[in-house]
Structure 1
């Protein structure tokens, strides 16, 4: 997607490269991110962006291709502009306030943020459009069973990069391998490529097509709603400064599947076998593709109750009759095992 020829770089061991990428820090960056996903699933209610896990990294980009302009400045400034067909969605925060804007809906949401605690990352913008954040979620899944190697070099966004490859051996996961293109100067991941256990084509790829490591100007993170846009200002979040507020999603509008208030996603399990759990998902009145998907889904039952399993080459989803949604880069049986362990 954004890779060029293979450059010649000094040799480096997998452990040395892993240590560098895990400790990489930059004061700011900006650029254009391209992402593509071929998972065969439509958007599912409440699953997107629900966890700091490999599943959360992938389920926020369930299908199709996306282009986003991104900018980050440490410690609490971020902006993501997703370019849809004939529309734009913007999330931005300047350390004091956060905005979510959807040009198609002509609506914007503004939040006044609690005081930021030094050293804590900015929260609220979609992580799936930040290759560094996506990479971190896979790096956090590394356990003793994970094979790590350096599989070569490549050019990404015009920059020389090493290819750090993670190969999980856990039987529960559908992930075949994850390759991080790591910048040879800043050690920041420039691209993440996820391959399924079956097949050779990437299931997900997120990476920069253009990037600058200059700190963006403060004005980059300011937002003024266009004339005629409806602006909503919910009550100031009551979360503690060291706990990030739930991301704002301007697409969560009436008539679309959504979560009931107060039911935030949680994670069952760790590493490659992690499963995202969403409670209180409303599946009634869903859109056509979801109705068709559920109609052809496999009926299953167990000690956890009854439900349907939706499968794809990487993401599998269990939707229970009592409104719970279990999703992950795991086998269908792992989803049912997680459902059996989850308290009702």
Structure 2
């Protein structure tokens, strides 16, 4: 099918928002939270699904790019179930055992972070969503998803001999790890009375953060929310995804500092639901992030899909923070998140946004060497940093740049961190201000 360029004399989504009669759809799209460039999308969470068998590109009526964006924003499909194939390939280097950023506070009581029960510490919660969902940052995974409105959702990570499930049913949020037979229970967040949920219904309940970002819809809507006049937007043909006809929406950054080559979103021609999301790096090669439905059904899932009772003998832990405990609240008041990093600032905007934060004790080294910093006097730790990244210096001092196929990070010797889907030069420029 012929390439379809945006109308009204612009190739950016900014023109779409100015088109008469289309402003409501544009405004609705911008309500979705904007990630820190595409770095937040790539780190949280979710990656690639090899595309599905196709019976040939469908012949669909032409549609302008801004109209397709509005179609996604106005999509109100609240019921669905299906299977999503996901893969992430950031090209991350593997870190030697015992190495971490920060002063070692994140390690378990057993002395080795993340290795067995000892590494998690006594009484650790193996089913905790925060720990489990980090696995989606690399490799290929199969997810089963289901939703019935804003207060019933289910996401399951299917493994060879086990399954990990997150179930939201009303005000309860359950996480179950069949491999360890452990259950994590917490209260689902409540939206403000006058807030609107993702579909625009007043008085709805928020989707828990743990259930976000795990589908083509979440990835697409986060990306479209960041679209502005720094983005070239086109419709590039059609596709068949999970047996459904779809348009191909293509977004490309205009900013030279971005490391993103293009984002391609397959949008269901009938209901506007994103069916496939692909993020390609500017450097070429295979996609860094892609998520695609292999099966999808937009009818209402059965009620028992969202019912959960802890299996006999399962170890159940409660999230005390969800009940008003001091656990994470005090840290947030101090400007620290769960990893012990100081509050994050966002520099720049859109595709060239850079996250800036600080590690409390500088750049940590091997276990026990608290406060040691990189550089020639850091011994083995300095050599390790030199091996993983490239040494740089500037008006900010000195540090190391660590690169992946998409995201780059600058870690200064005094513990400041700058990370984004931008070039090394852009990070150094931000650190020098």
Q: In 1, are the aligned partners of 2:265 and 2:274 still within 8 Å (CA)?
A: yes
2:196 maps to which residue?
119
Among 231, 237, 244, the residue aligned to 1:152? 237
Matches within 5 A, 1:77-156: 77-117=152-192, 119-120=196-197, 121-156=206-241
- Cα separation, partners in 2 of 1:338 and 1:147, compared to 1, 3 Å: same
Deviation at 1:330, TM superposition (A): 1.3
Q: What stretches of structure 2 of length at least 5 have no aligned partner?
A: 1-49, 102-133, 198-205, 330-336, 368-382
Q: CA shift at 1:263, angstroms?
A: 5.0
Q: Distance in 2 between matches of 1:63 and 1:114?
A: 28
Moved more, 259-268 or 70-79: 259-268
Three-state SS of the structure 1 residue aligned to 2:270 is coil
Contact 2:151 2:168 (8 Å CA) reproduced:
yes
Name the structure 1 match of 2:302.
217
Q: Distance in 1 between matches of 2:429 and 2:304?
A: 49
Q: How does 1:171-186 map to 2 (within 5 A)?
A: 171-186=256-271
Q: CA deviation at 1:310?
A: 1.2
Which structure: greater strand fraction? Answer: 1
Task: Return the index of the structure with the highest Cα Rg.
Answer: 2
Alpha-carbon distance, 1:229 to partner:
3.0
| TM-score normalised according to structure 1 size | 0.78
Please state whether the residue corresponding to 2:210 is helix, strand or coil: coil
Matched with 1:268 is: 347
**Aligned twin of 2:143:** 68
User: Is contact 2:93-2:388 (8 Å) kept?
Assistant: no
User: 1:100 and 1:270, CA in 2 relative to 1: closer, same or farther beyond 3 A?
Assistant: farther
CA contact (8 A) 1:14 1:164 kept: yes
Q: Does 1:2 align with 2:61?
A: no
TM-score, structure 2 as length reference: 0.63
State the shift of 1:93 in Å: 1.4
Alignment of 1:1-344 (within 5 A): 1-3=50-52, 4=54, 5-41=56-92, 61-117=136-192, 119-120=196-197, 121-237=206-322, 259-260=338-339, 267-277=346-356, 279-280=358-359, 283-284=364-365, 295-340=387-432
* Residues 80/266 of structure 1: CA separation in 2 closer, same or farther (3 Å cut): farther
Aligned CA RMSD, in angstroms, stands at 3.2
Q: Is the 8 A contact 1:90 1:101 kept in 2?
A: yes
Counterpart of 1:100 in 2: which secondary structure? strand
